[in-house]
Amino acid sequence: MAIFKAIVRTKRKDGFYQVYIRCVHNRKPGYIKTDKLVTDKQLDRNGDIDDPFVNEYCARRILEFTQRLNRKEIGKWTVKQVVDFLAMEDEDLCFSDYARLHIDRMRDRGQVRNARNYELALQHLERYAGTTRVMFAQLISTWVNNWIKDLEMTARAKEMYPVCMRQVFREAVKEHNDYDNNVVRIKTNPWPKVKIPQADRAEKRAISAEECRRFFSVALPESLSSRPKGELGRDVAMLVLCLAGINTVDLFNLKKSDYRHGVIAYKRAKTKKSRADEAYIEMKVEPILLPLFEKYRADDKDPYLFNWHKRYADSDSFGANANAGIKDVCKALEIPEDRRYCVYTFRHTWGTIAQNDCGASISEVGFAMNHSGGHNITRGYIKPDFSPAWELNAKVVEFIFFSNAPSKQGAAQDLNHPKNEDRQFRLSPKKLVYARAYFRGELLAEVTDIGFSNVDEVMARLATKFPDTIPPGCSVYFRIKDVDADIEVVYERTKGKGF
């Protein structure tokens, strides 16, 4: 049993006494320092504390200590263990230290790429705080919301970084707070009052088969390097496109043991830890890729299939160099900087062409691209037949590289091209026009007639039938159809400007 008493020890040079709570356990004394100070005037003739406020504070602390110890078996504890246990709750934990420990544990579990995201999030948090020792007590909702506001100009980090740090916080609470025994070392929880924004929706990066053919047929830019990035970029793009959109990290990590009888078998690094089937897939290597397999094949004694790990430190470096090379090829094609491709362009393109031009369903595309498709548990039970994915991949390769058939997205780009806008919809007095006007979803007027030279004349005719109750500045939508050509366009005009 531990016995407590509020005491002072030696006088400091400034004339104050530090207040301690003495703990006697198994006849041995220990001392717990408080933040209270007293002078000689606050002590009685026996040297005991005589200040009512200090005594009240110490009494509350002693009651709290007693309640906490009553929940533990401390008979065999030393007095130091008792003191350390009681003082532990008062010490503010370092969030940065725990986050680094959490990240190291992730790496030990093989979650290297996820650990990197957590590390980037912690680094940004520490830069914002101006210290590498961010404390848990510092993480209040106002401060965290201000940190997230500092991320608002980013596309993805504004969601990913806070989510990572929230997960670290939750794991720390599980580890350090023992609510059953009333041990609460992390007292703050900002996350219920923190609003995490959604990441910007990823831009659809797919390009047409026509653009693919142009990309892979262009002369590579000249380079003094024996290993030009443009060549690497084009080769990696070809591998990604002809292996059903494989990720660069999976290409980088392929082993010789993963390539058997013309088929590569691997577990997708991004999702293998979160899926019952470990994101396993087999993909047949099409003949068009065999020269590249030979070109980058590693030495016989090397366990890796390709030699990239000798040239690049890790898969991130490999991916970055591949993307830089792809952009070099795009520059040679005089593609504007804001429209240049990356590795993911060719992954997205595979899925788009498979669905739009090769007649695959979305579920078939997802299966071939190794998405779980909402059947995560089921895929862990069965040994799937991957041959349908091989057949679909062969169709995509055939369509892009061994035909000149126009792709649907290529046709769509032609239709949407600004230069073709007028060519696609022009009126003449001989054409039959069917036009309607809508305000807040309600049909205002319609007309079917000939004799219109342009769309402005059609809209002017419709406007004569509008009621006077439409407020100035409100929008009306005009649907105008060239009946003869079976083409319809929609225009928006506002009262006071357009009509």
Q: Give, in degrees to the nearest 5, the angle at Cα 330 between 317 and 216.
A: 95
Distance separating alpha carbons of residues 382 and 385, to the nearest angstrom? 9
Residue 145 identity: N
CA distances from 116 to 105, 111, 238, 454 (A): 12, 9, 27, 58
pTM here is 0.58
- The pLDDT value recorded for residue 8 is 93
Domain boundary assignment for the chain = 2-88, 95-193, 209-413, 423-494
Residue 458 DSSP code: H
pLDDT at position 410 is 59
DSSP code of residue 183: B
Angle between helices 229-242 and 315-332 (to 10 degrees): 100
Q: If residue 254 lies in a helix (H) or strand (E), which one and from where to where? A: none
CATH architecture of 423-494: Sandwich (2.60)
pLDDT more than 70, % of the chain: 90
Residue 259 belongs to what H/E stretch? strand 259-260
195-211 per-position pLDDT tens digit: 999 887 656 578 988 89
Bridge partners of 259, per DSSP, are 264
Instruction: State the Cα–Cα distance between residues 300 and 398, nearest whole angstrom.
Output: 32
Average pLDDT over residues 248-260: 93
* Res. 425: pLDDT tops 70: no
Q: To the nearest whole number, what is the mean pLDDT of the chain? A: 86
Closest CA to 291 of 350, 242, 229, 341: 242
Q: What's the rounded mean pLDDT across residues 299-319? A: 92
**CATH code for 209-413?**
1.10.443
pLDDT tens string 358-399? 988 988 898 888 876 655 555 555 678 899 999 999 999 999
- Residue 92, pLDDT > 70, answer no
Alpha helices in 37-139 (DSSP H): 52-70, 79-88, 95-108, 112-129
Cβ within 8 Å of residue 135, ≥6 positions away: 92, 93, 94, 95
Burial class (CB in 10 A: 0-12, 13-18, 19+), 302: middle
pLDDT of residue 232: 93
- Residue 94's alpha-carbon distances to 77, 139, 162, 165, in angstroms, are 27, 11, 18, 13
Beta pairing, strands 263-267 & 475-482: unpaired
441: which 2 tokens?
A: 């979803």
